[in-house]
Chain A
Amino acid sequence: MAVFALVFLAPIAYSIYLSVFRTQLVGGTSFVGFDNYRQALTDPLFWDGLGRVSLFLVVQVPIMLGIALLVALAIDGGRLYGKSFFRISIFMPYAVPAVVASLMWGFMYGTRFGLVGNLNDLLGTAIPDPLSPDLILAAIGNIVTWEFVGYNMLIFYSALRVVPHSLYEAAEIDGASQWQVVRAIKIPAIRGALVIATIFSIIGSFQLFNEPSILQSLAPNAITTSYTPNLYAYSLSFSGQQYNYSATVAIIMGLITMVIAYVVQLRGMRKES
């Protein structure tokens, strides 16, 4: 219990403590109550960042989970040759640290010396610059999808593995098609796993940080210091010395994430019962 208090509660308590003060370069520290919260809730930079990760969430997460589900079903279906090879090669990117993955993709995105540049030279195409402000969010989505499809696939696949075989046999006797088996047996059986994966992905989207932070050095004008709420909190704290405001942004972001994850969980549970 003491360990729990020290490791989990103390940092949160300290952040809340920080968030009700304000330290100025001139004038020192003073107690400001909920001023920081008021400021954050009316801060366009914060809302822009939140809007961006929300857009990311509604577009990228379904694509990623959809691909993961398809791959898991394909591997589980047993019709695939080299099943374990597929499984391991799709899971492999998850073993690559996010920082390395972002760097790697960042180099590939380069229109001059990167893969995109080479393709343009070779095929005479004009693939637009993935690091331009208009496309950078999609470029980040691509990296994140590449990284996490394997991870989610593994969650789905392991859930599929525990479905009793007698159900499939019964379905076969009833003359059910593969598609019916998938819809009536497999998907309902792994609903729990789907909900868990969705919640993880929501949290992951709201906490988007590594990828934009790394790509920032390659595309400083496309990724602003407030590109995602997490990046904003980081910039506030490390270049602006606004620790108090940074703590406030972090707390608000944590609360929003919790609420949304909780809503999704409730919905997921209700359908299950």
Chain B
Amino acid sequence: MTARPRRALRAAALLGVASLALTACAGGGDTAGSSQDPVDSETALEEGGEITVWAWDPTLESVAADFEAEHPNVTVNLENVGTGNDQYTALQNAVAAGNGVPDVAQIEFYALPQFALAQSLTDLTTFGADELEGTFTPGPWQSVTASGGVSALPTDSGPMALFYNQRVFDEHGLEVPTTWAEYEEVARALHDADPDAYLTNDVGDAGFTTSLIWQAGGRPYQVDGTDVTIDFSDPGTRTFVDTWQTMIDDDLVAPIGSWSDEWYQGLSDGSIASLVIGAWMRGNLESSVPDAAGDWAVAPMPQWEDGQSVTAENGGSSLAVPAASENAALAYEFVEYATVGEGIATRVEEGAFPATVAELEDPEFRGEEFEYFGGQAVNEVLADSAAQVAEGWQYLPFQVYANSIFNDTVGQAYVSDTTLDEGLAAWQESSVAYGDEQGFTVTE
């Protein structure tokens, strides 16, 4: 079943047929009754209409323009109502108010369960999206299907890798670490050699911490409908805490928040010499840290156990169709165009890191040499990471809230005598209290 859409995709790319044809192909395998007839999608596109898209991903601008050009009767109103949490708040308010709900909304993976649980999203199985399973890499697909059905289609993904500053590594004769134990050694060697330089920065970032626990095999969240288990005492979490507590205690992480001006300066001048981060950092380095062109390189994510090759996802977004959309069929056409159709090529060209197997396995994509990275075929490393993402991770159905109080709890481990362990326990406690208050059945 997985081969069909992929083949369809290739055909579409090769022959340059309209996404219409692709839709017809993909829809062709549907069993009657469970999903729409291929004719319906064509009708939706021909009849046209207007859809509103809430997204902050800049690459969608070109995609929306191309989609309109291809389907003259369709108008796409692309609106940026804020990034991340701001957008979710607006969306939640619109859903609660019952009007002004967009037809398509960009939602990060970690926030999907919250909307899916509240039944704010259309289950895309209705349109045959369940057929797309093999089209996407396992990590993102797992994220969009975690709440049952298909809540959204992935637009990009963040399989993690080690981005490091080759110039700094050469200068101090450092070896690229393959395990976290080596990573700690390198961090120490670098900081000893140059007290102003750090191997990485961290002041407490929920996304980073959960991703590392994910890679280490920890599964602190178990969600089954409204039954939620939160437990940060499993062995995977322990593995992460042991290493990272040392990194913090021994002053091996720069006390600089990600996305701050100081962070960009550090990435630029080499005083932050590496990042273990999602694949989307490739495009971000190129555009936001232009001065360090030629310095950076990419290596596989350090491992918890020597010889393994397990990774995790860090970030990544999807496009969902809110349940209140009055034009769901057309909205889905757009989502499909942007995530599995021709939209991908446009978005990859503009720097997005795709979530589709076809792109990630495409020799041209994998082989592309990036001048910024000294001619390295960076995508090869990143695409390999996408295939190695550990399975079984779940986010809370109120992860947006949980992440918002991360710095109140775990963050204290970075600025006081509180340990990571105590911080995680406090985070767990606050999350449990919130879950209880919101009517979930929470066990610890």
A 207-247 to B, binary, CB cutoff 8 A, 1 in contact else 0: 00000000001101110111000000001001111100000
Asked whether B397 lies within 8 Å of A25 as measured between CB atoms, the reply is: yes
A218 vs B258: C-alpha distance in the bound complex, in angstroms? 10
List chain B residues, Cβ under 8 A from A241. Answer: 92, 401
A103 vs B411: C-alpha distance in the bound complex, in angstroms? 22
- Determine chain A's interface SS by DSSP, over half rule: loop
Asked whether B203 lies within 8 Å of A220 as measured between CB atoms, the reply is: yes
A112 within 8 A of B: yes
Nearest CB of B to A108, in Å: 13
Interface residues of B in 367-417 (CB under 8 A from A): 397-398, 400-401, 404-405, 407-408, 411-412, 414-416
B208 within 8 A of A: no
Measured as residues with beta carbon below 8 angstroms from the partner, the interface class of chain B is 20 to 34
Asked whether A24 lies within 8 Å of B437 as measured between CB atoms, the reply is: yes
A26 within 8 A of B: yes
B 165-181 to A, binary, CB cutoff 8 A, 1 in contact else 0: 00000000000000000
The residue of chain A having its C-beta at the shortest distance from the C-beta of B415 within the complex is: A221
Contact status of A26 and B407, CB under 8 A, knowing A217-B257, A220-B204 = no
List chain A residues, Cβ under 8 A from B440. Answer: 25-26
A133 within 8 A of B: yes
Asked whether A220 lies within 8 Å of B411 as measured between CB atoms, the reply is: yes
A66 vs B201: C-alpha distance in the bound complex, in angstroms? 42
Which of B231-239, B260-268, B317-325, B352-360 faces chain A? B260-268
A240 vs B437: C-alpha distance in the bound complex, in angstroms? 11
Nearest CB of A to B244, in Å: 15
B 408-444 to A, binary, CB cutoff 8 A, 1 in contact else 0: 1001101110000000000000000010011110000
A238 vs B226: C-alpha distance in the bound complex, in angstroms? 22
A222 vs B404: C-alpha distance in the bound complex, in angstroms? 14
Interface residues of B in 179-226 (CB under 8 A from A): 203-204, 226
List chain B residues, Cβ under 8 A from A26. Answer: 117, 226, 438-440
Tally of chain A residues near chain B (CB < 8 A): 24
A110 vs B118: C-alpha distance in the bound complex, in angstroms? 42
A235 vs B226: C-alpha distance in the bound complex, in angstroms? 24
Nearest CB of A to B259, in Å: 8
B83 within 8 A of A: no
Q: Out of A24, A238, A239, which one reaches B438, CB within 8 Å?
A: A24
The residue of chain B having its C-beta at the shortest distance from the C-beta of A111 within the complex is: B255
Asked whether A224 lies within 8 Å of B257 as measured between CB atoms, the reply is: no
Q: Out of B92, B401, B415, which one reaches A132, CB within 8 Å?
A: B415
List chain A residues, Cβ under 8 A from B92. Answer: 241
B78 within 8 A of A: no
B89 within 8 A of A: yes
Asked whether B262 lies within 8 Å of A224 as measured between CB atoms, the reply is: no
Asked whether B439 lies within 8 Å of A218 as measured between CB atoms, the reply is: no
A220 vs B256: C-alpha distance in the bound complex, in angstroms? 10
The residue of chain B having its C-beta at the shortest distance from the C-beta of A222 within the complex is: B415
Contact status of A224 and B407, CB under 8 A, knowing A26-B226, A240-B401 = yes
Asked whether B89 lies within 8 Å of A225 as measured between CB atoms, the reply is: no
A24 vs B204: C-alpha distance in the bound complex, in angstroms? 29
A113 within 8 A of B: yes
Asked whether A133 lies within 8 Å of B434 as measured between CB atoms, the reply is: no
Asked whether B415 lies within 8 Å of A240 as measured between CB atoms, the reply is: no
List chain B residues, Cβ under 8 A from A110. Answer: 262
Q: Out of A25, A133, A218, which one reaches B257, CB within 8 Å?
A: A218
A199 vs B204: C-alpha distance in the bound complex, in angstroms? 39
A27 within 8 A of B: yes
Nearest CB of A to B418, in Å: 10
Asked whether B398 lies within 8 Å of A25 as measured between CB atoms, the reply is: yes
Asked whether B261 lies within 8 Å of A27 as measured between CB atoms, the reply is: no
List chain B residues, Cβ under 8 A from A25. Answer: 114, 117-118, 397-398, 438-440
List chain B residues, Cβ under 8 A from A221. Answer: 203-204, 407, 411-412, 414-415
Asked whether A225 lies within 8 Å of B408 as measured between CB atoms, the reply is: yes
Contact status of A225 and B404, CB under 8 A, knowing A27-B439, A240-B434, A241-B92 = yes
List chain B residues, Cβ under 8 A from A242. Answer: 437
A-B contact pairs, 15 of them (CB 8 A): A25-B114, A25-B439, A26-B438, A112-B262, A113-B261, A113-B265, A132-B415, A217-B260, A218-B257, A220-B203, A220-B411, A225-B408, A226-B408, A239-B85, A240-B434
Q: Top 8 A-B pairs ranked by shortest CB distance? A: A26-B439, A239-B404, A221-B411, A24-B439, A27-B439, A220-B407, A224-B408, A25-B438
Chain A interface residues (CB < 8 Å from chain B): 24-27, 107, 110, 112-113, 132-133, 217-218, 220-222, 224-226, 235, 238-242
Other than A113-B261, A239-B400, A239-B404, give 14 A-B pairs with Cβ distance below 8 A.
A24-B439, A25-B397, A113-B265, A133-B415, A133-B416, A220-B203, A221-B203, A221-B407, A221-B415, A225-B408, A235-B404, A238-B89, A240-B404, A240-B434
